[in-house]
Amino acid sequence: MNESDPFYERSLQRIDAFAADLYADAEAQTSTCETRDDPAPLFHALKGIPARYEGAERIGRGGAKEIFRVRDLRSTREVAMAKPLPSLGEDDFDAFLREAHITARLDHPGIVKLFDMGVDEDGRPFFTMELKKGRSLREMLREAKEGREFPLRQRLSILLRVCEAVAYAHSRRVLHLDLKPENIQIGEFGEVQVCDWGMGVVLRPPEGELEQTEVLLDPDLYGPLLRHSRGTPGYMAPELSEAGRPKSVEMDVFSLGCMLQELLTLQAPDGPELAPESGDEVLGAIVAKATRKNPVKRYSSVAGLQRDLSRYLAGYSTSVEHAGFVREVQLFYRRHRTPCLLVAGFVLLFVAGTTVFIERLERSREEAVVARQLAEQAQDLYRAQKVEAETALQNYLAATEESDRRLEEQGRLAAESVSRLTGKPFFENEAILPKMVREGHRRLDRVIALDPPPESPVWQYKFWLLFLTQDLKGALQVRSGNLDNVEDLVALAHEHAPAQTESGCLPAPAFAELLRTLAGLKDPSRNPLMERMLIYDQQFPRPDEERVAILREVLAVVNSDASEVELTFDSRDRSLVVRGAKVRVLSLRARHGCSDLSLLRFLKPVRLVLEGTGVTDLEELNGLQPVFLDLRDTDVRDLQPLTRMPSLQEVKLTPGRFTEEELSILEEREERE
């Protein structure tokens, strides 16, 4: 590059300014980073920093540590640094470092992140964490008691986020054991994080043998510093104070129940056996179950408590209610108040109209009786003939009406089933398809109970629904009077029905082969059927490796020129890796009648790696919400679709591939968030 080039001059100015700001406090020798003769100014500036952290400002103090706000000179950001209290000696340092090691095991947006740990120049340990700006839940509750608006639904939503983080920690076999409002941090934009894992423990693995790192994290090995800090009164489970008592998830469930009690009443919990006085019987029952003195009677997991709170907020019955029919009807009415009122109005109008009609009919009948009596007196023979004729006419009209009703019902229900199942909404919400399939079966069975003729389209719709849900044996039992339009599907059902399992679905290899065959059929209407079968297959309890194998086959079909499609999925952190230089297509949007959503959505990846693939259009990722995305060595040019992924936190791109103007799209997205 020519040094006289204006772009070269502007680049040097930006580097100089950044280096000056980033390493302003470095030693004098680092000033060479500002010269244009230095080929690596940032490296030499970083190398010249004598100490990583500066500007310690104490912002908090706990029972065993104090927290400082410091500036990390290497990354030029403010972080939180924890140090043991000056009164603690070397015998207590390992107990202090437990919190850092436990926090390092956890990687969740709702749990504070650990950055670094080490020993300072005085020989005392420290560790640094993410510095969150905001307030603790305790501060927000204190302000609510003073009159500041803090709606109940917002409080419950915060507790749900706490439950998510604690449930994740439990999945990693980590217990917190000191959950309370002081340890819940609420960010400026509503983000929720659980802090202070110093009292946490790591449970035994399923095999029953402790690993060495888990033994070193046992709180019983660290003397009085931890033995005298067994939780906070009012939030601490009763059994936590019993020496030698095994730790369990029910202890954290108790603390969450105490927090729920305080969120409801804005009053701190009084003791280990809480009264369910919250102004709401359902929430009171949830508090009572979560805070039972006997751990066995509590929720067996945080997920159970979280599920009841979610159902309460959504207007559904909870497990603590044992709701009967009347209660379910009340909840349904609350969820659908306007439609219920409209239906009630229509019913009243119908009843009123029917009453008027019956009265007029009764009046007409009485008049007819009088007329008939007069006619009988005048001519007995004429009366008999007239009665016979009327009876015959009534029978004929009744038979005709019943026949017409059956035909009309058959046609209406069949058309309704097909129109709904071929619509778009279920692509956007996968829970819709199973519900519509069940409703379609129910309505079709009502028509079939009327014994429609073999040529009725009802039989074809019944076969189609059974085929979609992989019930191939049931599909072959449908009467074959009107299956001309699905002869190809009948042949496939005969071929694959022997492989159908007792659970009602096909084994993964057989199901993948069936999808491959559907994709190769000439009839374009089979493409949406293939996608619907993929969506409905989520209802079956398949292992992740089977779902990966099925998806690999489908991707091989839509990428027909790719010699091999490599798909690797780690269910522990939901990491998905796609390999193959000719793998360009990740959806069925180019096929007739299919959605524009990515096929990868069936694995719900959190981390997605597309490095080295042939993907060029990020619209192929439509419907995904990853946290991490690797697009290195791909031909992607338009980054605009990434702005529709609010969950995305990190993107890896090939260095130098995009201009600053193209990358500004991502910067604008971060500013909006």
Pairing of β 628-630 and β 650-652: parallel
CB 562, CB 579: distance < 8 Å: no
Q: Summarize pLDDT for 101-158 with one digit per residue, the tens.
A: 888 889 999 998 998 888 888 888 999 988 877 889 999 999 999 889 999 999 999 9
Lowest mean pLDDT among 171-175, 439-443, 573-577, 607-611: 439-443
The strand pairing partners of 577, in sequence order, are 568, 609
Distance CA 111, CA 386 (A): 88
pLDDT at position 8:
47
pLDDT at position 445:
83
pLDDT at position 348:
80
Distance CA 221, CA 218 (A): 6
Q: Is the confidence at residue 295, as pLDDT, over 60? A: yes
Q: Summarize pLDDT for 616-657 with one digit per residue, the tens.
A: 999 999 989 999 999 999 999 889 999 888 899 999 999 988
130: DSSP letter: -
Q: Summarize pLDDT for 342-394 with one digit per residue, the tens.
A: 776 777 887 777 888 888 888 888 888 887 777 677 676 656 666 776 776 67
Residues 6+ apart with CB under 8 A from 262: 141, 181, 268, 269
> For residue 228, which phi and psi values (nearest 5 degrees)?
-95, 10
CB 100, CB 114: distance < 8 Å: yes
Average of per-residue pLDDT across 210-225: 49
Distance CA 112, CA 370 (A): 90
**Joined tokens for residue 264:** 């409801």
Determine the 3-state secondary structure of 432 from DSSP.
helix
**CATH architecture group of domain 134-334:** Orthogonal Bundle (1.10)
Give the H or E element holding residue 229: none
Q: Is the confidence at residue 26, as pLDDT, over 60? A: no
Q: Is the confidence at residue 615, as pLDDT, over 70? A: yes
pLDDT at position 510:
92
The reply to whether CATH 2.60.40 applies to domain 6-93+112-129 is: no
CB 184, CB 194: distance < 8 Å: yes
pLDDT at position 92:
82
CB 321, CB 327: distance < 8 Å: yes
CB 409, CB 447: distance < 8 Å: yes
Q: How far is the CA of 620 from the CAs of 115, 366, 610, in angstroms?
A: 35, 73, 12
Domain boundaries, the chain: 6-93+112-129, 134-334, 393-542, 558-673
Q: Is the confidence at residue 274, as pLDDT, over 60? A: no
Distance CA 533, CA 541 (A): 15
pLDDT at position 186:
92
Lowest mean pLDDT among 140-154, 281-295, 481-495, 547-561: 481-495
CB 496, CB 514: distance < 8 Å: yes
pLDDT at position 208:
57
Q: Summarize pLDDT for 462-510 with one digit per residue, the tens.
A: 888 899 899 999 888 886 556 667 888 888 989 999 999 888 899 999 9
Confidence of residue 228 (pLDDT cuts 50, 70, 90): very low
The strand pairing partners of 609, in sequence order, are 577, 630
